[in-house]
Amino acid sequence: MKLKIEVDCTPEEARTFLGLPDVTGLNTHLVNEMKARMDQNVAMLQPDELMKTWMSLGGQATEQFRKLMTAAAAASMGGVSRGE
């Protein structure tokens, strides 16, 4: 037996029906607080220091990726038998 029930309601109506609390005020407050903190932190950052940090991470990641690929290529060339 198959039973299909389709409910057409808004999220607010579903919360009320299920007895869940309305947290839209709390959610709005938290989002606004996070925005304010992000704005404060961004204002304190110095663009040149931020770029140095980002560039150093990018360079290190590129170097690590190159080393990984070199090691993998060396291992595949020397360690795999080709059935000859």
Domain ranges of the chain: 9-44, 47-76
The rounded distance, in Å, linking the Cα atoms of 9 and 5 is 13
User: Collapsing DSSP states into helix, strand and coil, what is residue 62?
Assistant: helix
Q: Which residues contact 7 (CB under 8 A, 6 or more apart)?
A: 14
- Could you give phi then psi for residue 3, rounded to 5 degrees? -125, 125
- Enumerate the H helices of 1-84 as residue ranges: 11-18, 24-44, 47-79
**pLDDT-flagged residues of the chain (< 70):** 49-51, 53-54, 56-59, 79-84
Query: pLDDT per residue over 27-42, tens digit each?
Result: 999 999 999 888 887 7
Question: What is the pTM assigned to this prediction?
Answer: 0.40
